[in-house]
Structure 1
């Protein structure tokens, strides 16, 4: 059963002092104006998401920064690429876990729906038990020569050095290595999400951030039993956002801060008079709070240009363009958010 927002609020551990500081992991952290912006951004961005789902011509907000620039949704699973992964990859095709693992990792290595559609359009059903390196390389190489972009710019998956001369070929070899090393079985039999993450971390080119992103994607599948509140790995963008909220004293305890944000979310929304219904009653999870720090880092470049992060970036690169395609909102059935069939 999904735990509703109000059902969790009595058990949270708010520790905000009147002086504008919080205590996390034994440290006293000064709060910058970006801290309240985090909560206001989350509430405003969720309203945009709900308004877009409801339809209508827009604009969906009167916030000029949100109107002009592109930001991801508050809930990672609601973003377009995650929706494509959940609906068209994980829950389509052979439900055998080895095949689900193979499809998920193949999709996520490129993280681009058009590349997945290219492969399925040319090769039919994507399956490990009928996988042929030469066929997959042929399709991808032809597309690359034709100028088609194979990879998303959302995050960079560095190519492992596995003897091939093209990035996509080395990534295919990496996926082969994972399958042949029994990664699907080892991930599924892991006693905790962090143990499953460590299985992925052992493979070439999968650093902490990517391994965490991939195990989160795999955890959308019906077979994976873990909670998104199990653990978190802060990425570079989240560290930037955390630094803007709390300053250098936050260094080294970013994961504790993300957990603090998840645990205390109801109190902060209430404190600021903000309505935040969650995702059909689902609270922000650790992965969502981590992502929100990335987005608030970008938002603060315009809203709070005087407050420095780590990277020193001062512009938001992506501008908002309204898409004509209707939005999907279908989530892992085990979350029980989809309503009657």
Structure 2
């Protein structure tokens, strides 16, 4: 078993420093925008000014807050919450889930679900699915129409009661991930996103989560995170990705201190500091890869940042003010 110092020696110093500096700058953008209510630009970093990067804390993503506030905090069974989180994450657009409404398993109607999605797409001319990531595994379900295949997929999931009981009986986060992954249409990336949602503490369970695990228990690095890790470590390393991510999770404060960076951590309702979770670190590695790729002229981001197209600061504050277990008060 390698010691923390031995794992530390597997990192390349300059990329590691850049990783923490990127995280620090990106969180400061959020802090200056939302907490300090400053006008743009919120950073002098041209890459951050011109390209869109997700929040350092996954729970600050408005889409994640939608999942927490409108699905996980809902007065419904754990099975119904799992079903809706899976549906919401596969569809990928909160506006679509908001439009079709929360779907209790017992009342799920395949034809009604399909008609609702087609009406949104064909009559309202609204985008139904996300374009942020690729979703596959349902394209052999009998139709060339994505909406029809998705309806078949969720009808199968709703009819598989053993899936929900087995998922709720899993004994580890990794085991739960594999159970979600066993469902058609849910690949590595999507299954992990569903898992992390189900691990958020919620008020309706007195601070417990739908599944009895923590976002710090285990992680499955997606393709972007794996590429981010490769930029941080030596080519000769034999340390696996999960141990690298755990080291970053456990040493974040020491690393910020080493670099003289005052990181604007979130606080909970009691004023206690909320450190970046293992799930947050996984996400940061993916975003760091995008940042470093642009910095080294190896490519560009898929999405440019345009403040006029996003939510206003007032909208963001209203989302966060309603967020359970996050405080916007800064002493």
TM-score scaled to structure 1, two decimals?
Answer: 0.82
The question of whether the paired residues in 1 share the 8 Å contact of 2:114 and 2:148 is answered with: yes
**Distance of 1:148 and 1:250 partners within structure 2:** 47
**Distance of 1:247 and 1:173 partners within structure 2:** 46
Residue equivalent to 1:202: 182
Residue equivalent to 1:308: none
Gaps of 5+ in 1: 1-12, 16-21, 306-312
The equivalences for 1:167-178 within 5 A come to 167-178=146-157
Residue equivalent to 1:6: none
Residue equivalent to 1:180: 159
User: Offset at 1:324?
Assistant: 4.2
User: Offset at 1:208?
Assistant: 2.4
The equivalences for 1:269-288 within 5 A come to 269-280=256-267, 281-288=273-280
Gaps of 5+ in 2: 203-208, 268-272
Residue equivalent to 2:30: 49
Query: CA deviation digits over 1:267-302, x for unaligned, max 9?
Result: 110110001142211111111111111111111123
**Distance of 2:323 and 2:84 partners within structure 1:** 16
The question of whether the paired residues in 2 share the 8 Å contact of 1:243 and 1:251 is answered with: no
User: Offset at 1:235?
Assistant: 0.5
Residue equivalent to 1:105: 86
More helix by share: 2
The partner residue of 2:281 within 283, 286, 289 is 289
1:37 equivalent in alignment to 2:22: no
**Distance of 1:331 and 1:235 partners within structure 2:** 30
The equivalences for 1:8-157 within 5 A come to 14-15=4-5, 23=7, 29-31=10-12, 33-54=14-35, 55-92=37-74, 94-120=75-101, 125-146=102-123, 147-157=125-135
User: Offset at 1:173?
Assistant: 2.2
The question of whether the paired residues in 2 share the 8 Å contact of 1:85 and 1:104 is answered with: yes
User: Offset at 1:142?
Assistant: 2.6
The question of whether the paired residues in 2 share the 8 Å contact of 1:90 and 1:103 is answered with: no
The worse-fitting range, judged by mean Cα deviation, of 203-212 and 102-111 is 203-212
Q: Which runs of 4+ in 1 moved over 4 A?
A: 330-333
Higher RCO, 1 vs 2 (CA within 8 Å, ≥6 residues apart) = 1
User: Offset at 1:168?
Assistant: 2.5
The question of whether the paired residues in 2 share the 8 Å contact of 1:144 and 1:150 is answered with: yes
User: Offset at 1:317?
Assistant: 2.4
User: Offset at 1:207?
Assistant: 2.3
Aligned length: 305
User: Offset at 1:32?
Assistant: 5.2
User: Offset at 1:82?
Assistant: 0.7
The equivalences for 1:300-339 within 5 A come to 300-305=292-297, 314-322=299-307, 323-325=310-312, 326-327=315-316, 328-329=319-320, 333=324, 336-338=325-327
**Distance of 2:70 and 2:197 partners within structure 1:** 13
Query: CA deviation digits over 1:285-322, x for unaligned, max 9?
Result: 111111111111111123234xxxxxxx5112211122
The question of whether the paired residues in 2 share the 8 Å contact of 1:133 and 1:172 is answered with: yes
